[in-house]
Amino acid sequence: MPVDILVGTQWGDEGKGKLIDVLTKDIDMVIRFQGGNNAGHTVEIGDEKYVLHLVPSGIFRPGVACVIGNGLVVDPIGLVSEMRELEERGIDVSAVQLSTRAHLVMPYHKLMDAFNEETKTRDKKIGTTKRGIGPTYADKANRTGIRAVDMLDLAGFERKFREQATAYNDLFSSKDTETVDLDAAWAELKDAAEYLNSMICDTVVTINQAIKAGKNILCEGAQGALLDIDHGTYPFVTSSTTISGGVCGGAGISPRAVRNVYGVMKAYTTRVGEGPFPTELDNAAGEALRQAGGEFGATTGRPRRCGWFDAIISGYSCMVSGVNKLTITKLDVLDDQPELLICTAYELDGETINTVPADPIKLSEVKPIYESMPGWECPTTEVRSYDDLPENARKYLERIEELVDAEIDIVSVGPNRVQTFQK
Ligand code: IMP
């Protein structure tokens, strides 16, 4: 069983890119299985910082196959510009494979995403990344999508694009909003299709051949469990399956092939975009966490909302994803805190609950019930082994472990590859 999965257990931005990069030391293939360039995976190697949106985080390890699976929605223009940028920085991108079955984000999907957001009333806005993710998955479900395989036949691709874009433009015109410039967009799409042509293949076959050959495979989740289309805080979610189960559909991998599920969890909680967030600190303490943690979106640059660790949502995520290896990131961001709060239950309508209400209105009404722990008030960024952590930091981690019912495997105390150790 050579397949490991790594998923986010909160609202995304848990530090998955860094962890994938660390774990790929002994890996032969890294697979993205859902989402699109709404993701922003930051990897720091030495003095260099890279932000990946579609290219799997294994790209910095020579010899690692990097698969963009069938479950993604891929902006071909965005993907090509990301790959060219990597090439300009000396990174070899020839190991990238793009699934024939992946759906394509077209320029009209991005306009539709922006239009949907702009026309919603304040309380209904999702705060999407405006990368066209939702509209592309909607077309996929409507069976009107255009897929990577279509790029292999340029004439057919152009016909499909113009047909769909014209229908969208008619709709945009009727709403008096921006339309797609068909010729300009086609020029960019054609360039992208030509660049990507040699990378488009049946990745379900290449992946399963690798499994059969006993290769080590890591599936790289994007976003987090609380943004999952089914298990997240619907409707304030993304449009894909972000939990570990998404690997089966999104990469064409049998559940029997799965070995470990790594759950990446920040030592506190953040969220970008709208939607309920029970432990949010909408005050100076939240601002201090934001500054200490550099909590600004890797894709959109938006300030992230920050709050205390929430064991209810994180425990739910570990349960649905079957996390058996927990990775705690950004522990160092809490170094200056004299006291740490952990949410261990919610109060709702006078009752104590320890589950996540499905109704977003109810979830926005819960009051977190906190447990207090003393901070460690000393730097941890130079710590390189679990036993060298301050005692209060170890106690904090062990309490998290107990509350979310998953064992800690890795702790990260800074953005660099070297600031990582096993428990
Ligand atoms: P969409 O995926 O662009 O449709 O956005 C839906 C929601 O998911 C919004 O709240 C976004 O802020 C959030 N989101 C999407 N991708 C990420 C991510 O990579 N990290 C954190 N939040 C994300």
Render 397-419 in DSSP notation, one character per residue: HHHHHHHHT--EEEEE-SSBTTS
* C-beta of 53 in contact with ligand 1 (< 6 A): no
Nearest to 210 by CA among 64, 73, 101, 71: 64
* 3-class SS of residue 200: strand
CA distance 169 to 179: 5
* 3-class SS of residue 219: strand
CA distance 410 to 329: 8
Contact 71, 238 (CB under 8 A): no
- pLDDT under 70: residue ranges of the chain: none
Partners of 124 in the beta sheet?
none
pLDDT at 205: 98
Residues of the chain with CATH 3.40.440.10: 3-100+201-262
pLDDT at 299: 77
The C-alpha angle with vertex 50 and arms to 324 and 97, in degrees rounded to 5, equals 70
Candidates 4, 41, 109, 228; catalytic one: 41
Contact 196, 76 (CB under 8 A): yes
* C-beta of 133 in contact with ligand 1 (< 6 A): yes
* Residue 194 vs residues 86, 166, 273, 301, 389: alpha-carbon distances, Å: 18, 23, 35, 31, 51
Q: CATH top-level class for 3-100+201-262?
A: alpha beta
The answer to whether the predicted template modeling score (pTM) of the entire model surpasses 0.75 is yes
**Phi-psi region for residue 36, left (φ > 0), alpha (ψ -120 to 50) or beta?**
beta
pLDDT at 324: 97
Query: In the CATH scheme, what is the homologous superfamily, with its name and number, of domain 266-422?
Result: Adenylosuccinate Synthetase, subunit A, domain 3 (3.90.170.10)
Which residue's CA lies nearest to atom 2 of ligand 1?
Answer: 238
CA distance 254 to 161: 33
CA distance 217 to 118: 40
Query: What's the one-letter identity of residue 121?
Result: T
pLDDT at 297: 84
* C-beta of 19 in contact with ligand 1 (< 6 A): no
Cα 262 to middle of ligand 1, angstroms: 21
Q: How confident is the model over 31-75, as pLDDT tens digits?
A: 999 999 999 888 888 888 999 999 999 999 999 999 999 999 999
Residues of the chain with CATH 3.90.170.10: 266-422
In CATH, what number does 103-196 get? Answer: 1.10.300.10
Which helix (H) or strand (E) segment holds residue 334: the answer is: none
pLDDT at 227: 98
Nearest to 149 by CA among 186, 102, 195: 102
Ligand 1, atom nearest to 133 Cα: 4
Partners of 201 in the beta sheet?
99
Residues of the chain with CATH 1.10.300.10: 103-196
Q: What is the CA radius of gyration of the chain?
A: 21
pLDDT at 21: 80
Any catalytic annotation for residue 109? Answer: no
* C-beta of 149 in contact with ligand 1 (< 6 A): no
Ligand 1, atom nearest to 302 Cα: 12
* C-beta of 273 in contact with ligand 1 (< 6 A): yes
Any catalytic annotation for residue 41? Answer: yes
Q: Are strands 3-8 and 258-266 parallel, antiparallel or unpaired?
A: parallel
**What residues contact residue 294 under an 8 Å CB cut-off, 6+ apart?**
none
Which helix (H) or strand (E) segment holds residue 98: the answer is: strand 96-99
Task: Name the token pair of 127.
Answer: 């705060």
